Structure 1
Amino acid sequence: MNGKDDFIVLGVNQKDKKIWRDFYDRYYAALCSYVSKFLSVSDAVEDLVQEVFISVWEGKRIFSDSKELTNYLYRACYNNALLYIRNNQIRDSILSSLPSEEDFEDEEMIYALTVKEEAIRQLYFYIEELPAEQRRIILLRIEGHSWDEIASKLGVSINTVKTQKSRSYKFLREKLGNSTYSVLLSLIF
């Protein structure tokens, strides 16, 4: 490892804003290129890479050297890309499971399905507004993982998961309104 690498790792660990610019410039384009191998949506690629940088900034993890930092960045980008793909597949499967309009002659049924689709869209919109840890917990739950599995996957206690779940539910309930929130919870969770 050279002096510049040591300097960047030290700056990342200390959250030094000036060094973070160098760190960002050094890794951002390469990470975007890496993630674009998995995803074709350029906005999603950039967002996923940004989320990794944010998690490093907000996290308490201390990196011992540039190899550990680099491995962490690529692994986190890979995991975020897989999560993004899974979430879109789940969303698409929910929407594709809805019957097509030709299957219904009754306009009220079409209206009900439209409302349901819009409610699901709103749910995902507001899930994206959750803090990163809460968002990961809710998305893992939507994927069908138990609360214990989520705690294990994220390496946190079950109490942390329950606390974050409770905060997430409260936020979603406020954003969606109690009636829509209750219906969506029964459909998804």
Structure 2
Amino acid sequence: MREGETKFTLKNYKKLFESLYPQLCVFAYKYLSDLELSKDIVQEVFLKVWEDKMTFQNENHTTGFFYKAVKNKCLNYLKSKSYKVTERYESANLKAHKTEEFNISEAVAIETTVVIENAIKKLPEKAAKVIRLSIEDYSNNEIAEELSISVNTVKDHKKSAYRKLRNLLGFLTIK
């Protein structure tokens, strides 16, 4: 191991896993459109890194490695015979997934999703539920029915949540 390289202990590897796993699953899902398969692939990458006792130069190198490893594993899966037999993936789409521009836009989308999810977690529980259902295209009436609250309460939760989210996420706006 060279000077400055990081070797993982079980404790700091677990911390790394917990911080990267959700966003890597979202990243893999963009390729595979299958959440369970995405989770499996991300877990396989983490397991391989642990088993091979890999070391990294710094945190940015570590994060970049995991994104690239997950992307490659997803692309390998998409190219595999079992996938071709079951899904018939268009090669044009596969080529699009390989472009640098696509990777950058996907990384930005994933990071933005993580930031928004963290902001929603800071909302009061009912307001967070209302916002999540709203994101899933539930109408105010459907949300009210789902949560056993009045439509006016749904509107109040939305109004309050949007105000708090604007404050929490104001830095995301382009000026």
TM-score (norm 2): 0.43
| Higher RCO (CA-CA < 8 Å; seq separation 6+) | 2
